Amino acid sequence: MEEQVVLVDEADRAIGVEGKMAVHRSGKLHRALSVFVFDAGGRLLLQQRASAKYHSGGLWSNTCCSHPRPEEDSLGAAKRRLWEEMGVACELSKAFEFTYRAKLDNQLVEHEYDHVYFGRYDGLPVLNRDEADDWRWVEMSQLSADVERNPGAYSYWLAACLGRVVAHRKAPAYGSI
């Protein structure tokens, strides 16, 4: 059975469930999550999406991104997927939410209400090769500059929310992450 995603309205209220590929072909708004894990020095753990992924394969992206299952809360899904994709377990805190719509490769459309979480981890990831081909730690200033110079090397959603990630990390509540 195809993986199901939660369809939502503009206020993130669930309005239904549909198959993931059908939703990405039609461009319906659905719930998603993005995780940004930082080390003690403030570097971000990036993943290079597996080249075999159904879209955005081979692009560099935030630490983890996915969709909650029906009846699963976003925080639980974020922790589950962070472990499944990167072999990383850490505390996560909600940073912000945003909505975006983007035409991707393979004639797919991402239209997501994205819940963004921050975490801290100082170990080494253990990649699930079905999800990620590579990883690296990167300074935020270097990442911002490289996304500006080479936008085609990064996932759309990373570039779309990077400014907000930087701004939220400067906020007092996130000073230690």
pLDDT digits (tens, 9 = 90+) for 104-139: 877 889 999 999 999 999 999 999 999 999 999 999
Alpha-carbon distance of 65 to 134, in angstroms, equals 15
Is pLDDT at 177 greater than 90 in this prediction?
Answer: no
pLDDT tens per residue, range 24-61: 999 999 999 999 999 999 999 999 999 888 777 789 99
> Domain tally for the chain?
1
Q: Residue 81's domain is classified under what CATH number?
A: 3.90.79.10
Range of the domain at 62: 4-174
Rounded to two decimals, what is the model's pTM?
0.93
Task: Look up 65 and say whether it is catalytic.
Answer: yes
Task: Look up 161 and say whether it is catalytic.
Answer: no
Strand 30-38, strand 64-66: pairing? antiparallel
Catalytic residue among 64, 85, 110, 112: 112
Best CA proximity match to 60, nearest among 80, 41, 36 = 36
Average per-residue pLDDT for the chain: 93
